[in-house]
Amino acid sequence: MNVTGVALVAALVAGFGGGVAGLVVPRTVRPVVVGACVAAAGALATLAGVAAMAGVAWSAALPWLLPLTGVELAVDPLGGVFLAVTGAVAVAAGVYGIGYARGGLDGRAVQAALPVFVASLLLVPAAGSIGTLLVCWELMALASLLLVLAEHGKRAEVASAGRWYAVMTHLGFVAILVGLLVLAGATGDGSFAAVREQARAPETAGLVFVCCLVGFGSKAGVLPLHAWLPRAHPEAPSHVSALMSAAMVNLGVYGILRVGFDLLGGGAPWWWLAVLVLGAASAVYGILQAAVGSDLKRLLGYSTTENMGLVLVGVGAGGMFAASGDAVLAALALTAALLHVVAHAAFKTLLFLAAGSVLHGTGLRDLDAMGGLRPVMPFTTVAFGLGALTASALPPGAAFVSEWVLLQALVHGAGSGTVVASSIVLPVAVGAVALTAGLAVATFVKAFGVGFLARPRSAAAAEAHESPPTMLAGMALAGLACVGLAVLPTVVLPAVAGVAGGVTGSGPAVTGAVTIQLTGVSGTMSPLLLVAALAVATALVAAVVSRRSARRARLWDCGGGPMSARMEYTATSFAEPLQRVFDNVLAPDQDVDVTHYEESRYLVRAVAYRRTLRDRVEHRLYEPVLAAVRGWGRAGRRLADGSVHRYLTYGFATLCGLLVLMVVTR
Amino acid sequence: MIGLWRKIRRTGRVAEPAPPAPEAGPAAPALSGSVQIRHVDAGSCNGCEVEIGSAFGPVHDAERYGARLVASPRHADALIVTGPVTRNMAEPLRRTYEAVPRPRVVVAVGDCARNCGVFAGAYGVVGPVSEIVPVDAEVAGCPPRPEAIVAALRGLTGR
């Protein structure tokens, strides 16, 4: 057993051990023990993932552990990336959870489910056979469902979110099940190695890929199947939201990569065209919904849809290039996708943990009621600001680097492949990525500016308090990852590029220690020098400004004043111009009611503004289906109206029918 | 569109020919020919406002002498104040004056601004503008003619 295996097994022991500890340890020390187990499992898994990325592969077969399929584990470099990312997120979430659990989340079920959830997250990318993958996938779904439902006693919406999540995750599971069983049926043995060896029948390969794309795509929150994501993420406890949003959704991407590139060996260009188009649509739609939303955690959930969309743009472009035989460009696009997975994990963990800290300190999720948190929650404000800067894809930021590599791949790929792909889809994808980046800036300026700066808009925000040290430590870990990835992405980039190159069968597409250099296409960029230049420019501006003589003056408030918190921008009003621009896409339902005094129509008594923004995809796609199911159920209810006589008649009729059937068929 | 252009060409300039430049005021060198002006209505009957509008209209066109109305005292070099200062406007006038960057100039436009005019002694009136903020130039008249306003502004710009 090599270092990968030892670390992974130790991580799983810590995870499942933490689950047991959550059940048996007394309440006073339960959060500490469980948090320590989660963090230890995460750290060990990161070690295993890094070792796997470095080329230390490991596999094991335990045929006795599960009936029929047995358990096979195999960690390769591709799985290693996701293992490392999941582990790193778990470290921050575990430390953070120690303090966060004190607020009524230290019950047995929740504390036991958390480490099991982490362990199942680690098992999915380590699964080495179809049976193992399916079992781990379901374990992950059930554990996360338990955690989403953790606060069902406090809020009524949690139950509804849980139902949506349960149904959608299981429909996705059914799609994966169908796809992978069709694949396994062709090979007999379900292990990945055997599937890889087997010659693939092209007619079933398309079906397998589409089924897996639907199933894994729904887990990644890709467009028409994203409906669970903005529901479940806000209602789950915040460290669970971080795990789900920064680690679990990645596994959807992992599934698409594993099945498409590895098990099916590339496949037809239209597969990847579909992935790219879905990704681009999700990216734009997700960030648009985030830009006009005012629930902080829901906004972050939609931002997850956006970022997974960007990742899938990279995956789809990589698949298209690989299908057209351009392995170097394919490796470049995949490198961008994997780097964005890493960057997204870092900043989304930080943002969700900071949002949880705000929730802990104020009890608020509604941006319109926040504000003025900077003086009372300084650490959380810095953490959220750092996350928002990174998520905006502006330099210096990790997402800037990954989106830059992605755009390089898309721009340079315009000359390869079919006409449709190279001259229509790729330019449009470049536009979609650019639009997404712009909207992301607006979204996070809103979230940070409205949420944390200016004056408190409600009593709850005014009475906020900073979070306990363990929560701050969790945020600090995630923040360090954000800063590290922003300044020195070249530490992880060669490893990620090596993995991507291994998947497409070419060398690493990105090299360089200080300056990132793309191989195959011309393009260089140095994040470190960029950060240094920004720092120097900022210092110069600060020096010039501080030298000027300043006159202290009253803030100009039109001579009236004093200005109150009611005069501030709210999240809704800040997003209103954007909402107006995208009126046709968002189709908001809004209404302005002006009431007058009886004495004169010229005197306004009150102005009421109401706006409801429905998720339009959900409205058009899900509501008709739900209405049909409900109608079907209502029709079925006529059969069972509570009359005992009728039920007895059913029994009698069925018996008679069976007897007749037996006589006839005999 | 062509018709519009033709009409513009046929009409030519309608502004009054520039009268000889008046004597430049003491603030002119510091403002060097370009004066951004914020107008404050401290309680006027709106007569002076009509004349200010006329002074900046196409006939008198005060902007050709370097004077320009702006929307905030933060952007302004000078205030033109009209009307007797009412109780409600005394503090906002003081704050507006404070908000103007240095060097700053105040012009009291109209008899009410100079000495409360017909409103002198009224219960809602605090006093003339000079009691609230220091006044550098005055324009007499109830209301003053646009030519007089333009002449006062040319005293500020020196053009």
Interface test with B, best of A548, A554, A557, A558 (most B CBs within 10 A): A558
CA distance B99 to chain A (A): 7
CA distance A548 to chain B (A): 15
Least confident of A68-77, A283-292, A528-537, B109-118: A68-77
Tokens of A244: 């789900």
Q: Is the minimum CB–CB distance between B95 and chain A shorter than 8 Å?
A: yes
Neighboring chain B residues of A556 at a CB cutoff of 8 Å? 72-74, 99
Residue B68, strand partner residues: B36
Contact across the interface for A556 and B92, Cβ inside 8 Å:
no
Measured from the Cβ of residue A151, the count of other Cβ atoms closer than 10 Å reads: 18
Nearest to B74 among A556, A560, A561 (CB): A556
Q: State how far the Cα of A541 lies from the Cα of A217, in Å rounded to an integer.
A: 46
**Percentage of residues of chain A with pLDDT beyond 90:** 38
Neighboring chain A residues of B91 at a CB cutoff of 8 Å? 559
Q: State how far the Cα of A398 lies from the Cα of A429, in Å rounded to an integer.
A: 21
Contact across the interface for B96 and A559, Cβ inside 8 Å:
yes
CA distance B131 to chain A (A): 18
Contact across the interface for A560 and B74, Cβ inside 8 Å:
no
Task: Indicate whether A417 pLDDT > 70.
Answer: no
For residue A202, name the pLDDT band (cuts at 50, 70, 90): low
Dihedrals phi, psi of B105, to nearest 5 degrees: -135, 145
pLDDT of residue A415: 66
Average pLDDT of chain B, as a whole number = 90
Residue A525, strand partner residues: A516
pLDDT of residue A529: 87
- CA Rg, chain A, in Å? 27
Q: Is the minimum CB–CB distance between A550 and chain B shorter than 8 Å?
A: no
Q: State how far the Cα of A82 lies from the Cα of A89, in Å rounded to an integer.
A: 11
For residue B110, name the pLDDT band (cuts at 50, 70, 90): very high
CA distance A560 to chain B (A): 6
Q: Is the minimum CB–CB distance between A602 and chain B shorter than 8 Å?
A: no
Q: Is the minimum CB–CB distance between B157 and chain A shorter than 8 Å?
A: no
Give every strand in the sheet of B67-69, ordered side by side.
Answer: B67-69, B35-41, B78-82, B105-109, B137-139
For residue A200, name the pLDDT band (cuts at 50, 70, 90): low
Residues B93 and B129 sit within 8 Å (Cβ to Cβ): yes
Contact across the interface for B99 and A554, Cβ inside 8 Å:
yes
Q: State how far the Cα of B106 lies from the Cα of B128, in Å rounded to an integer.
A: 13
Task: Indicate whether B148 pLDDT > 90.
Answer: yes
pLDDT of residue A314: 93
- Residue A203 carries which DSSP code? H
pLDDT tens sequence across B73-82? 999 999 999 9
Interface test with A, best of B95, B97, B104, B132 (most A CBs within 10 A): B95
Residue A125 CA, distance from chain mean position: 16
Pick the closest to residue A335 from A411, A408, A233, A245 (CA basis).
A408
Residues A464 and A362 sit within 8 Å (Cβ to Cβ): yes
Q: HSE-up of A114 (CA within 13 Å, CB side)?
A: 41
pLDDT of residue A46: 92
Q: Is the minimum CB–CB distance between B88 and chain A shorter than 8 Å?
A: no
pLDDT tens sequence across A128-170? 888 899 999 999 999 999 999 888 888 888 888 999 999 999 9
Domain ranges of chain B: 32-157
For residue A305, name the pLDDT band (cuts at 50, 70, 90): very high
Q: Is the minimum CB–CB distance between B70 and chain A shorter than 8 Å?
A: no
* Chain B CA closest to residue A550: B101
* Chain A CA closest to residue B71: A558
Task: Indicate whether A206 pLDDT > 90.
Answer: no
pLDDT tens sequence across A257-274? 998 888 888 778 888 899
List all residues of chain A from 234 to 293 with a beta carbon under 8 Å from chain B: none
Q: Is the minimum CB–CB distance between A603 and chain B shorter than 8 Å?
A: no
Mean pLDDT value of segment A365-390: 90
CA distance B2 to chain A (A): 33
pLDDT of residue A324: 84
Nearest to A553 among B72, B93, B98 (CB): B98
pLDDT of residue B52: 95
Residue with tokens 């003056």: A553
pLDDT of residue A416: 65
Mean pLDDT value of segment A319-331: 86
For the ranges A199-213, A295-309, A414-428, the one whose mean pLDDT is highest? A295-309
Q: Is the minimum CB–CB distance between B91 and chain A shorter than 8 Å?
A: yes
Pick the CATH number of B32-157 from 2.40.10.10, 3.30.9.10, 3.50.30.30, 3.40.50.12280: 3.40.50.12280
**Percentage of residues of chain A with pLDDT beyond 70:** 98
Neighboring chain A residues of B73 at a CB cutoff of 8 Å? 556
Task: Indicate whether A63 pLDDT > 90.
Answer: no
Q: Is the minimum CB–CB distance between A552 and chain B shorter than 8 Å?
A: no
Q: B29 or B113: whose pLDDT is higher?
A: B113
pLDDT of residue A619: 83
pLDDT tens sequence across A526-585? 888 888 999 999 999 999 988 888 777 788 888 887 888 888 888 888 988 998 999 888
Domain ranges of chain A: 287-539, 616-665
CA distance A561 to chain B (A): 9
Q: State how far the Cα of A615 lies from the Cα of A75, in Å rounded to an integer.
A: 39
Neighboring chain A residues of B74 at a CB cutoff of 8 Å? 556
Measured from the Cβ of residue A518, the count of other Cβ atoms closer than 10 Å reads: 22
Q: State how far the Cα of A182 lies from the Cα of A179, in Å rounded to an integer.
A: 5
Cβ-Cβ pairs closer than 8 A, A with B, add up to 18
Mean pLDDT value of segment A106-120: 88
Dihedrals phi, psi of A46, to nearest 5 degrees: -60, -45
Q: Is the minimum CB–CB distance between B43 and chain A shorter than 8 Å?
A: no
List all residues of chain A from 555 to 574 with a beta carbon under 8 Å from chain B: 556, 558-561
pLDDT tens sequence across B16-75? 777 787 777 777 678 878 999 999 999 999 999 999 999 999 888 899 999 999 999 999
Average pLDDT of chain A, as a whole number = 88
Residues A362 and A460 sit within 8 Å (Cβ to Cβ): yes
Nearest to A556 among B72, B91, B93 (CB): B72
pLDDT tens sequence across A431-473? 999 999 999 999 999 999 999 998 888 888 888 888 888 889 9
pLDDT of residue B130: 92
For residue A383, name the pLDDT band (cuts at 50, 70, 90): very high
Neighboring chain A residues of B92 at a CB cutoff of 8 Å? 558-560
Tokens of B20: 């000889």
Task: Indicate whether A68 pLDDT > 80.
Answer: no
Tokens of A180: 């992978």
Mean pLDDT value of segment A641-666: 91
Contact across the interface for B95 and A559, Cβ inside 8 Å:
yes
CA distance B37 to chain A (A): 15
Mean pLDDT value of segment A393-418: 83
**What value of ipTM does the predicted structure carry?**
0.79
Q: State how far the Cα of A251 lies from the Cα of A82, in Å rounded to an integer.
A: 7
Q: State how far the Cα of A286 lies from the Cα of A288, in Å rounded to an integer.
A: 5
Contact across the interface for A554 and B93, Cβ inside 8 Å:
no
Q: Is A630 exposed, middle or buried (0-12, 13-18, 19+ CB in 10 A)?
A: exposed
pLDDT of residue A423: 79
CA distance B74 to chain A (A): 8
Mean pLDDT value of segment A334-350: 93
Residue with tokens 């600090």: A476
Contact across the interface for B98 and A558, Cβ inside 8 Å:
no
Residue with tokens 């997850």: A304
Could you tell me where the DSSP H helices lie in A54-129? 77-100, 108-126
Tokens of A584: 């046709």
First to last CA, chain B: 35
Contact across the interface for A553 and B73, Cβ inside 8 Å:
no
Task: Indicate whether A650 pLDDT > 80.
Answer: yes
